[in-house]
Structure 1
Amino acid sequence: MSNTPLIRRGAALAAVLMSASLVLTACGGDGDDTGGKAAATRGDKAAETHSVKAENGTIEVPVDPRRIVTIGNTNLPFIDLGGEPVGVTEVSDSDLDVLPAEQRTAYEAAEIVGSSGGEVDLEKLATLKPDLILVQFSSDDWDKVGKRLEAIAPTVSWGLDTEWKAFADAIAQAGNVADALSQQKAEFKEKVTTIQETYGKIINGTSFVDVSRGDWSDPGTFYIADIGCSEIARDDIGLDLPEAAEGKDPLAYESLPFERIGELSRYDVITYPVDAEGRPAEPFKPVAGTNTWKALPAVSSGRALGVFCPGNNSYGPVNQYLDSLGSALATLPGKQ
């Protein structure tokens, strides 16, 4: 973001600055024009381009983009990597509520250019004069606005099925925020290794199930989560968690009635969603309030673990999830 212009300090100060400027100009011919060279270097770098492969082809983008607009699912991952977009599309209040303060500030400083990927105000976006547009939304939305976005600035688009680690890599490359990504990756690797080494015996000999409920769920229903943060627990940490058969819809797509809560008794450990303070997430409270839930062996024996998942499409929130998972595993009776 650009800096706020300095307030004028009066004619006397202006005169002093003018005199100083003349002195510096007179002396400049005898020494290196460091400031000019630095400005030229910055200008040259901003003008350079490199190729980025994306869903919409191989795109030439600036090496050092300065005015980036993020659309759809690229908003928060780019900001998570330290990016400061000039334009964004709307994100939910629940997503904003779990952002670190500096990231929320970066989001709120940007101009809102639409409610969603397919509802972008193209005229407003164009007035921001972006030198790069980052996009992740549905193919239908791309059909609506994709070509018009490309006419405004180099546009890099990824499909909704892009794996989250590859997505982070691609955003870092296109948006020139690779240094932050490297640090986050190192933290991720360290956290995964620590959990595996500390709780390896429990992980290897225990059956887990991750259950959840969203604010979109029908009354009296819950679901078994096999996508989102539970994928991290299963695929990276190695927890024995149920998942859909190959080629089938995720288990999370099936709403289960509260009458089936008792079926969770087959699992040794249950994980469920909590907020940043460790309280059951608001949509999950109806599940936690049922007598059937309270009677589950895992619940009554201290093996129901609340885990905070602020997001799963970039390393920052995933690392927060891993911290919460590690703390939860530490409370298990008989932990290693």
Structure 2
Amino acid sequence: MVLQRDLSRRAVLTTALGALGTLGLAACGSGADDAAAPAGQTRKVATDLGEVEVPVNPGKVVAADFYPSFILQDLGITPIGVCEYTEDLVHPAYRNLLSLPKIGPNGQPNVQEIARLAPDLVVSMGYASGRSRMQPVYDQIQAVAPAIVLLSSSQAKFWRECADRLAPMIGREAQGRKLRDSYEGKIAEIKKQRAAQLAGHKWAYISQGNNSGTWTLNMAGSALGGVLADAGLQFGKEATGQTKNGQEFSYEQFNAIADCDVLVYPVTYDGKPRQPVQAVLEQSTFRELPAVKAGRLYPMPNYSVASYRIATDALNDVDKILAGL
């Protein structure tokens, strides 16, 4: 439904600030398909919470959680506030986000901080499974400013679905199309130029498990796993045909990836495995795997795929590995 804006915004903000606890935010800048649109002009867009009237050329956009700030920046919009990020996990192209005002941890946005920034648009992206938990927060956001809420049920498709949907909503369709074309063009290039390497190798994407003494085999349903699948990589027998995020194994079960001759694992942007991943790599049974003994264990800094730019850089990482096989 269309949000009603005939109440005084000052009155709404006063009520929100007095009664609400937590919420989240970010914001935006200039340059877009609709950059010349008159101030105050709006359009109706279909969000996952119903139809919302939003600015045609928003000037102050709040990103209420992890994904929007990356996607907004890809689209030429610089946020004015973001959630808290771990510095060594932020892609170098987005390091400016670290110096912006923080509105709380991811998933715990603060409505008071959003109200202080006085946004003309809030963008939130989350999983459909968490909608009931987050609905009170969405209601609070809508009391502060028009809100675009986009929900996804797939980790692998999350960033792409949200980026493709958001771009035309905020007048950045041309920028969005360019980003999509770059990503899809790189996929086509890899499949054409690395056909022999793609056909001749099986890959496994591994990381730490959720429990002590375990590791995870990430599959096509995970963020990076979806990019690897897009590139045309072949997975080992345990992951072939699987669309789930991944499966946890004990340290005694590294034989699950013994048929893979290329292994990749997540690292920070300074090249260091996170401590739980390092523990997996140090296991003697892991070091005995054929791929490891053959020197085909590769770090993947762009594993936390949150935008087309990061996904395309992940493809570049894959291309470099393929070129050396």
TM-score in terms of structure 1 length = 0.74
C-alpha distance in structure 2 between counterparts of 1:296 and 1:82, whole Å: 44
Partner residue in 1 for 2:266: 273
1:224 matched to 2:217: yes
Relative to structure 1, the CA distance from residue 275 to residue 188 in structure 2 (aligned partners, 3 Å threshold; closer, same or farther) is same
Residue equivalent to 1:7: none
Q: What CA distance in whole angstroms lies between the structure 1 residues aligned with 2:74 and 2:275?
A: 25
Percent sequence identity over aligned pairs: 23
Following superposition, the deviation at residue 278 of structure 1 comes to 5.0
* 1:172 equivalent in structure 2: 167
Q: Distance in 2 between matches of 1:277 and 1:132?
A: 34
Q: What corresponds to 2:121 in structure 1? A: 132
How many Å separate the matches in 1 of 2:297 and 2:98? 35
The DSSP-based 3-state class of the residue aligned with 1:87 is coil
Decide whether the 8 Å contact of 2:65 with 2:109 is kept in 1.
no
The answer (yes or no) to whether the contact 1:79–1:106 under 8 Å persists in 2 is no
CA distance change for structure 1 residues 245 and 302 in 2, over 3 Å: closer, same or farther?
A: closer
SS of 1:168's equivalent? helix
Alignment-derived partner of residue 150 in structure 2? 158
- The aligned counterpart of 1:104 is 95
Q: Which residue of 2 aligns with 1:32?
A: none
How far apart in 2 are the matches of 1:294 and 1:42? 55
- Number of positions where the alignment pairs a residue of Structure 1 with one of Structure 2: 281
Change (3 A) 1:196 1:49: same
- Conservation of the 8 A alpha-carbon contact between 1:213 and 1:223: yes
Residues 1:81 and 2:82 aligned together: no
Gaps of 5+ in 1: 1-40
1:59 is the counterpart of 2:48: no
Match of 1:328 in 2: 321
Q: How far did residue 258 of structure 1 move?
A: 1.1
1:64–1:176 contact (8 Å) kept in structure 2? yes
What is the letter of the counterpart of residue 228 of structure 1? A
State the one-letter code of the partner of 1:112: K
* Residues 21-40 of structure 1 mapped to structure 2, 5 A cutoff: none
Q: Which has the higher helix share?
A: 1
**2:251 maps to which residue?**
258
CA contact (8 A) 2:266 2:303 kept: no
Corresponding residue number in structure 2 for 1:47? 40
Deviations 1:113-172 (A, max 9, x none): 33344x433233222221111012331343222222112211110124263322111222
Question: Match of 2:26?
Answer: none
User: Cα RMSD over matched residues?
Assistant: 2.7
TM-score of the two chains, using structure 2 as the length reference: 0.76
Higher radius of gyration, 1 or 2:
1
Instruction: Identify unmatched segments of 5+ residues in structure 2.
Output: 1-33
| Structure-2 change in CA distance of 1:281 and 1:194 (3 Å) | farther
Bigger relative contact order (CA 8 A; separation at least 6):
2
Residue matched to 2:140: 148
Q: Give distance in 1, aligned partners of 2:113 and 2:264.
A: 44
